[in-house]
Amino acid sequence: MIIKIIAIVLALAILSMAVIAALNKKLIVSIIAAGVVSLFASVFYLLLSAPDVAMTEAAIGSGLTTIIFFYVLNKIKKDRQDNV
């Protein structure tokens, strides 16, 4: 029973963060929200007894993808400053 409640709360948190990531105008907030969606998804996979998928999602989806997004955002900002 408690696992179902936790799963429902996680699902609602994932949906709300996905909406925030899609509708927010600030790119930094959108990147962080997308990373949180991935992190919550990895916890959800743990609840579903899939630890290998959870570890992969946490490492690739939450960690590496977020770092790459911030790197690209930083490169774009530097290129814009160089062209001005």
The neighbour count for residue 35, using CB atoms within 10 Å, is 20
Q: Does the pLDDT at position 1 exceed 90? A: no
Kindly report, residue by residue over 25-78, the tens digit of the pLDDT. 999 999 999 999 999 999 999 999 999 999 999 999 889 999 999 999 999 998
How far is Cα 46 from Cα 6, in angstroms, rounded to an integer? 12
81 class by beta-carbon count within 10 Å (0-12 exposed, 13-18 middle, 19+ buried): exposed
Task: Report DSSP letters for 21-55, one per residue.
Answer: HHH-S-HHHHHHHHHHHHHHHHHHHHHTT-HHHHH
Total-model pTM: 0.87
Instruction: Give the residue extent of every domain in the chain.
Output: 2-83
Structure token digits, residue 4 = 């179902």
DSSP tag of 1: -
DSSP tag of 64: I
